Structures are given as C-alpha cells and as structure tokens.
Amino acid sequence: MNILIMGPAGAGKGTMSDLILKEYDIPHISTGDMLRENVRNNTELGKEAKSYMDAGKLVPDDVINAMVEKRLQEPDCQKGYLLDGFPRTLVQAKAFAEISEKIGKPVQSVIALEVGLDVLEERITGRRICPKCGAIYHIHNKPSKVEGKCDVCGSDLVQRKDDTIEQLKVRMDEYEKSTKPVIDFYAESGVVTEINAAEKPEVVFGHIKDALSKIQ
C-alpha cells in the first residue's frame, strides 16, 4: 500500500499518519526526518545535502529524490510506505512518478486533507511542543496534565516561533502555489481522495480507511 498524505500546516497529517501506521503496518517516511538522518549518519547523500545546508542553500531536488529512492527500497517498505512532505512541487512529483515506477512502488493513493483557514488558525496558535522529547500538545484539544509541562518528560512546553497567524498565512500561500499543483497532477491518475480534515479525528480517519479500502 503506497500512500502520500498531503495537506497544509495544521491539517492533522501527523495525527492521521500515526493512525495509518497502526492500522496498516507500513513505515511513515518524512523527508525532513530522512534528510536529518542522512546528515547525522554522514552518508554520501547526507554529506552532499549538508554542503548545501551549510551554505544556506536549499537541498536540490536530485539529492532529495535519491534519498527517497534509496529509502523506499529498504526492507521495512516491502508492504508499502506512507510519504509525508514529499513531493512538495510539481517538478518533484513528476520525478517521483518515474522513480516509483522504476522501483515498482507507484503511488496508489493520495490522501489530501482539506481544512479552512479559520480552523487552521485555531489549531496552529494553540499548538505547544516539548523541545526535549518532541511530544505535541494543544491548549484546547490536547492539553498536558500540568499546564505548560510535558506529560512524558516534565520539560517546559514551548510554542514554535512559526506557529503564528502571520506565518500560517505565508505557509498557506506557499502551499497553494507549490503543493496544490501536485494534488492536481495525481488527480489526473484518479488516485486522489479529498477529505474534510476539520471533522473529529476518528471521523477523518474513518474516511481515510474507506479510501484505502479501495486499493487493498
């Protein structure tokens, strides 16, 4: 089961990804995590990526594409994969279409989480994270047991500096400009399911399961 999950910041990709992994036993592959792991492990691709990062430049598509291609051929991807954060642009999508076909792992389903700006604002501005263990909370929807403290490790929770209405609007503009064309690209193949992500998580996941049942 080869899946892409897409949606703007705050749409619930992380929550839905966790539920998909538990249900279908496939790895969640975040290109951000993959990039950091390659740099940390000092792989050849990691070294190349770090040279761009150290120079303050974006890591080129061909380096990211090569990392994704290598990652999808690892043993834990035999049953499929859930890609999050890739492809972000139409150029990446077209390149990935060739890569995934070449390695026999073409995209079978694109889950596009749709949610309005007003809902995203409430979600984003209320989000709090633990800088030590990475646990995520929300002051309304998922508060910690002790206000301002992480349930897992007890560290002080913080609000990310980009979790503001101003930054959300910047990210939404970028999403509309770069990522919407990717969804349109996959829609031509009939693999896109648009889901209202403003509903409760269990309802959203129910819609996702219905969409994935068509490819099992």
> Which are the contacts of 7, defined by CB distance < 8 A and separation ≥ 6?
13, 112, 113, 114, 115, 197
H or E element, residue 77 = none
Q: Is 40 a catalytic residue?
A: no
Rounded to whole angstroms, the Cα distance separating 35 from 211 reads 29
109 class by beta-carbon count within 10 Å (0-12 exposed, 13-18 middle, 19+ buried): buried
Q: Catalytic residue among 13, 71, 123, 128, which?
A: 13
Q: Catalytic residue among 50, 70, 88, 149, which?
A: 88
Rounded to whole angstroms, the Cα distance separating 120 from 84 reads 18
Q: Is 71 a catalytic residue?
A: no
CB atoms within 10 A of CB 47: 11
Q: Catalytic residue among 40, 94, 160, 177, which?
A: 160
Q: Catalytic residue among 71, 123, 127, 128, which?
A: 127
Q: Is 128 a catalytic residue?
A: no
Q: Catalytic residue among 50, 142, 171, 180, which?
A: 171
> Which are the contacts of 154, defined by CB distance < 8 A and separation ≥ 6?
none
- Where in the sequence numbering do the catalytic residues fall? 13, 88, 127, 160, 171
